[in-house]
A and B are shown apart, each in its own frame.
Chain A
Amino acid sequence: MSLASFETSKQGESALRLVARGAWTLDNGLAAIDARLRRFGAQSLDQSLDVDVSEIEAMDTAGAMMLQRVMRACGGRVDEQKPLRGFSGLSPRFSQLLEQASEHIAPCEVEPPRRQSFVLMLERLGRGTSKSGGEALSILSFVGAVVARIGRTITRPKKFRFTPLVHHMEEAGLDATLIVGLMSFLIGAVVAFMGAKVLGDFGAEVFSIDLVGISVLREFGVLITAILIAGRSGSAFTAQIGSMKLREEIDAMRVMGIDPLDALVVPRVLALMFTLPVLAFLAAFLGLVGGGVVGWLALDIPPTLFMGRTQEVVLIQNLMVGLIKAPFFAFVIGIVGCYHGMMVENSAEDLGRRTTMAVVQSLFLVMIVNALFAMFFLELNI
């Protein structure tokens, strides 16, 4: 098949003739002649046009549409009753296509209308502000609802769902031990190494033991755990609950009289609150081990010295400060993860957006809570 082409010629005063040749199909160079055809149409306003299609080898809907478009551009003839006026050399198949194109040709918008960029920016700012305010309120009300549900569970423990609790404890807790342990081991090792390097300049290498003990027990152990769990379990909660929401499973639960907070949210939040302190303890322990191993292998601090010094200067309060924060972090991560899951609407795209948001928000909130705790303990002189 030859490429699509056309030829135009004048027929007297205000009459034009267009002879179309080749295969007027999209995969035969139709797009290439589109601009030229468009120009021709724009130049020849208010002139009558005859289109000879007898030399066209094949035509598709796009070709028919383009012919009808140029016919309309010239002379602007739109006669609904006679869509084939002006065309000659028609075969039955081409007539059918041209008729159909005439019936359905219409301009249309592709994207929702946009406004000027400055107004748009203001609008986005306003929308963003009011949305984040609304979101904060809505999370707060979710927190209230979950706390009320947990309270009810305590007064009526018979209705509590133990199986999902254990399941989520295994998934969020037990399955995470390896990665949490490895990460905090490495963090402890790095802190010991960096500490020894800087403090060594003052001949105070042995103080790196204090540094490892205090920083790992108070902050790093529990923070590393919280960050990992937020990325691992918080996002999983959003994805699990969100996909249930999309498949209307949550609506089905409500109709059956099962409260989704009871069935889905409370077990997840409690599971995190029970397991995160344990993981944080493990992280703190392995962080110390990491520091000790580096001290022993790279810095010539023998394990006996490391242990002795740790027992001497690193008080039990440090561990307690770290561990007391764990359930609060767990609560924040669990609530944010479940909240975003329950808020998923309409589409899989929203699910993805919510999952990302859950991780970012829970990390942000964990850091804020951690800062509040730091100020609190500073006031208490612990």
Chain B
Amino acid sequence: MIPPKITYDAVIRVRDLVNQFGTFRVHDKLDLDVLRGEILGVVGGSGTGKSVLMRAIVGLRAPQGGTIELLDHNMSNLTEDNKADINQDVGILFQDGALFSSMTVAQNVMAPLREHLKISNELAEEIAALKISLAGLDLSAATKYPSELSGGMRKRAALARALALDPQILFLDEPTAGLDPIGAAKFDQLILGLRDTLGLTVFMITHDLDSLYTDCDRVAVLAEKQVIAVGPINEVRQADHPWIQEYFSGPRGRAALSSSGDQHVKEEARI
């Protein structure tokens, strides 16, 4: 069978991906596309390899099989230099921020700028200030060290660093985990706003049903070593798979749905 010609603009294209730890297979012939400008939510139970998938896509882990194309480059046959070039178009927010602990927040944001560009101190500082402010962090936090920040502030600082080089694709690993509901909701809005103004493509691993409903254009469900469903959340929710049913129709799923429903109703009323 001839595969259908791809007519849409996929910035990440994963085909037949195999990831294996010893004899334990995490992914078996997994396929996934991420389209330009969308926010894709990746969900799945613990141990289904969401983080492994992300690490494979950005090249932190060599998969045992299959191909990964990131911005039209095949990640498996790239030299280290090419990989570094592509990584400038990719920003990653790790789960606990992964900020460099010996640097202040501003220095953290400036680190990728200094590494990749010949740039004056003044300009680097101005850009850092802009990114810190964009990430919704007060500028007084710029001189603080990561250990002096709260969990939510650390995430925002890490987001500022991820945005430092104006990436095309932003990877988020559970961005709202460990945040209070108000902080999480603000973070969701921030991601939405950044996507719209900066034209980002966002790959978001999350367990947070509220973020799925507010942020994500499409949702990919990982189970049984593959992506078992992908599409807009209202379609995925209908899928006939026990895990999906349990996930979306459990008490939390229903609560998130009803609150997002309220929002839509309110928005419609305003219009």
Q: Look across to chain B and name the residue whose beta carbon is closest to the beta carbon of A348.
A: B101
* CB atoms of A97 and B197 under 8 A apart: yes
Q: How far is the CB of A30 from chain B (nearest CB, A)?
A: 8
Contacts A35-B120, A61-B134; is A108 near B106 (CB within 8 Å)?
yes
B48 interface residue (CB < 8 Å to A): no
Contact, CB under 8 Å: B106 / A60: no
Known: A110-B104, A112-B143. A26 touches B125 (CB 8 A): no
Instruction: Give the residue name and chain of the A residue nearest to B110 (CB).
Output: A110
Q: CB-nearest residue of chain B relative to A96? A: B197
Cβ of B102: which chain A residues have Cβ within 8 Å of it? 349
Q: Closest chain B residue to A25 by CB distance?
A: B166
When the two chains form their complex, are residues A61 and B198 in contact, meaning their CB atoms are under 8 A apart?
A: yes
- Pick from B120, B125, B129, B165: contact of A31, CB below 8 A: B120
Contacts of B163 in A (CB 8 A): 61
Also in contact, A26 and B120, with CB within 8 A (given A96-B197, A106-B133) = no
Chain A residues within 8 Å of B88, by CB: 27
Q: Within residues 121 to 147 of chain A, which ones have a CB less than 8 A from any CB in chain B?
A: none
Interface string of A97-117 (1 = CB under 8 A from B): 100110111111111110000
Count chain A CB atoms within 10 A of each CB in B113, B116, B132, B133 and give the residue with the most. B133
- Whole-angstrom distance between the alpha carbons of A21 and B71 in the complex? 26
User: Are B166 and A104 touching (Cβ within 8 A)?
Assistant: no
Cβ contact of B122, chosen from A38, A60, A100, A350, cutoff 8 A? A38
- Is the beta-carbon distance between B166 and A26 smaller than 8 angstroms? yes
- Residues in B with CB closer than 8 Å to A101 are 130
Q: State whether the Cβ of B269 lies closer than 8 Å to any Cβ in chain A.
A: no
Give a binary string over A348-367; 1 marks a CB under 8 Å from any B CB, 0 the rest.
11100000000000000000
A304 beta carbon closer than 8 Å to chain B:
no
State whether the Cβ of B159 lies closer than 8 Å to any Cβ in chain A: no
**Do A61 and B133 have beta carbons less than 8 Å apart?**
no
Q: What residue of chain B has the Cβ atom nearest to residue A37's Cβ?
A: B123
A61 contact from B110, B120, B166, Cβ within 8 A: B166
| Cβ of A235 to closest chain B Cβ, rounded Å | 20
- Cβ–Cβ contact B132 & A111, under 8 A: no
Given A25-B166, A31-B118, A104 and B130 contact (CB-CB distance below 8 Å): yes
Contact A110 B143 (CB under 8 A): yes
Interface residues of B in 98-144 (CB under 8 A from A): 101-102, 104, 106-107, 110, 113, 116-120, 122-123, 125-134, 139, 142-143
The total of Cβ contacts below 8 Å across the A-B interface reads 97
The reply to whether B146 and A347 form a contact with Cβ atoms under 8 Å apart is yes
With contacts A61-B166, A110-B107, A348-B101 known, is A104 near B133, CB below 8 A? yes
Within A68-82, the residues touching B (CB, 8 Å) are: 69
Interchain nearest-CB distance for A71 vs B (Å)? 14
Contact residue among B104, B126, B165 (Cβ-Cβ distance under 8 Å from A65): B126
Residues in B176-195 with C-beta less than 8 Å from chain A:
none
Instruction: Evaluate contact between A349 and B117: CB separation under 8 angstroms.
Output: no
B128 — which chain A residues lie within 8 A by C-beta?
Answer: 108, 110
Complex CA–CA separation, A349 to B113 (angstroms): 23
Min distance, Cβ A343 to any Cβ of chain B, angstroms = 15
Q: Does A244 contact B (CB under 8 A)?
A: no
Minimal beta-carbon separation of A354 from chain B (angstroms): 14
User: Please, which residues of chain B bring their CB within 8 A of the CB of A113?
Assistant: 143
- CB A131 to nearest CB in B, in angstroms, measures 18
B151 at interface (Cβ–Cβ under 8 A)?
no
B126 neighbours in A (Cβ, 8 Å): 65, 69, 105, 107
- In the assembled complex, the CB of B168 is this many whole angstroms from the nearest CB of chain A, namely 10
- Cα–Cα, bound, A105→B139 (Å): 11
List of B residues within 8 angstroms of A69 by Cβ:
126
Within 8 Å CB of A112, what residues of B?
A: 104, 143
Q: Of residues 193 to 245 in B, which have CB atoms within 8 Å of A's CB atoms? A: 196-199
B258 contact set on A, CB distance < 8 A: none
**Known interface pairs A65-B127, A347-B147; A104-B134 also in contact (CB < 8 Å):** yes
Q: Given A26-B117, A110-B125, A347-B147, A105–B101 Cβ distance below 8 Å?
A: no
Of B127, B130, B133, the most chain A CB neighbours within 10 A belong to B130
- Tell whether, in the assembled complex, residue B142 and residue A110 are in contact, meaning their CB atoms are under 8 Å apart: yes
- B243 → chain A, closest Cβ, in Å? 31
A110 to B117, CA, bound (A): 18
Return the chain B residue nearest A104 by Cβ: B133
Proximity bits, B23-54, A CB within 8 Å = 1, else 0: 00000000000000000000000000000000
Kindly state the separation between the CA atoms of A65 and B164 in the bound complex, as whole angstroms: 13
Contact of A106 with B129 at beta-carbon distance under 8 Å, contacts A35-B120, A111-B107, A348-B101 already known: yes
25 residue pairs A–B, Cβ–Cβ below 8 Å: A25-B166, A26-B165, A26-B166, A27-B88, A31-B117, A60-B166, A61-B131, A61-B134, A61-B163, A62-B123, A62-B127, A62-B166, A65-B126, A65-B127, A69-B126, A101-B130, A104-B129, A107-B129, A108-B128, A108-B132, A108-B142, A109-B106, A110-B106, A110-B143, A111-B107
Which 7 pairs of residues, A with B, have the shortest CB-CB distance?
A: A104-B133, A346-B147, A108-B129, A60-B166, A110-B106, A31-B119, A347-B147
